[in-house]
Amino acid sequence: MKDFIAYCGLDCETCEARQATISNDDSLRKKVAKLWSELNQAEITPAMINCTGCRIEGVKTPFCGSICPIRQCAMGRKIETCGSCAEMKTCDKLAMITANNPDTLKNLAG
């Protein structure tokens, strides 16, 4: 499994929050914060847009670091990704991601 595949199957290498963090790009942080604020109907500031990747050591966005129910579950079960979980196909938490992004299932199978 690639290190940059998140517990849920999203590819952190393609995440603009990670890209902004790695390149220290404040204009990209502002762009991501604006988009995520609109999508989530919550105030997300550019300062919150710092993440090295879900399963990579280092800084995380507030959501990924402490709120994401998928990440919390996988870490609690001590599994590499949700692809290792026997409940993957029936998991409502994971379905929040996989229903909108079929590539995540391919990533979890890899």
Q: How does pLDDT run across 15-56, given as a tens digit for each residue?
A: 999 999 999 999 999 999 999 999 999 999 999 999 999 999
pLDDT band at 110 (very low <50, low <70, confident <90, very high): confident
Q: How does pLDDT run across 75-101, given as a tens digit for each residue?
A: 999 999 999 999 999 999 999 999 999
Q: Fill in the amino acid letter for 53.
A: G
CB atoms near residue 36 (< 10 Å): 19
Return the residue matching tokens 């929040």: 96
Q: What DSSP designation does 5 have?
A: B
d(CA 57, CA 80): 14
CB atoms near residue 17 (< 10 Å): 24
